[in-house]
Amino acid sequence: MTVLLDGKKLATTVRSKLKERTAALRAKGIIPRLVVIMVGDNSASAVYVRNKKRAATEVGIEAVDLHLPVTTSQDELLALIDQYNQDPKVHGILVQLPLPQQIDEKVVTQAISPLKDVDGFHPVNVGQLFMGTPQALPCTPRGIMELLAAYDIEVAGKNVVIMGRSNIVGRPMAALMVNHDATVTITHSKTQNLAAITRQADILVVAIGRGEFVTKDFVKPGAVVVDVGMNHNAEGKLVGDVKRDDMLDHASYLTPVPGGVGPMTIAMLMQQTVEFAERS
């Protein structure tokens, strides 16, 4: 039987423990504070921001939710980020992506102080991750590692194949796996003989943004399959990058969509905010 990795359940446990940590901080007069900035009216972004704010409130983090008009200039956004960089009462800053076309995402990412970069995307934090001395981690890869650990899935010595090379998931996921002594292969849209490579994986992490693309032909029997995808099929149903029915009784473990990686991403965002507050 394929075991489903219950990210929703684990995220609930993480948030429960964070409540105790935020209570201890508040007893010392420190209120963990996360600033979430959204520019424009992207409907998906609005949902993500709402979920993040709800999770923050639940665990005792004060969420400052700023919704800026789509006409906001890059200089205006950078000035706002600098203001919160200088504010000692703010422990985490997050700018929700995507941004309007007049704003350069790379410039904005680099403008956030590495000490308040709860997304873990700043080049300084990325560099520390790849050097094996991470200070802040991208939340999705971190959530995946926590989920594997919760189910006692050993990473050291395993062949890990990652489908996708984004800066948000694929590349930092590879670094985290290497830091945990795995042997890692990254595949992408230009990879030849893709299925032959993915079938070598003991652990397959799929983050390509193509609904139900990965079938059992890509996966060796008994492999652990981590599905990072969130897509809507023709019927409007939320599906992952992996064809779930193909994995049942084929993979040893599988993250479901929804309820797998997604809840852990937000839980790690909350945990990282609390850690930043504790360091302060």
Q: Which are the catalytic amino acids?
A: 52, 96, 119
Q: How far apart are CA 115 and CA 273, in angstroms?
A: 10
DSSP symbols for 128-174: HHHTT--SS--HHHHHHHHHHHHTT---TT-EEEEE---TTTHHHHH
Q: Are 22 and 32 in contact (CB under 8 A)?
A: yes
Q: Are 5 and 254 in contact (CB under 8 A)?
A: yes
Q: Are 85 and 52 in contact (CB under 8 A)?
A: no
DSSP E strands: which ranges in the chain? Answer: 3-4, 33-39, 62-68, 92-95, 159-163, 183-187, 203-206, 224-227, 231-232, 238-239, 253-254
**Among the listed residues 194, 279, 280, 201, the one whose alpha carbon sits nearest the alpha carbon of residue 247:** 201
Residue 9 is which amino acid? Answer: K
DSSP state of 188: -
| H-helix or E-strand spanning residue 241 | none
SS3 label, residue 219 = coil
Dihedral (CA of 238, 226, 114, 24) sign: positive
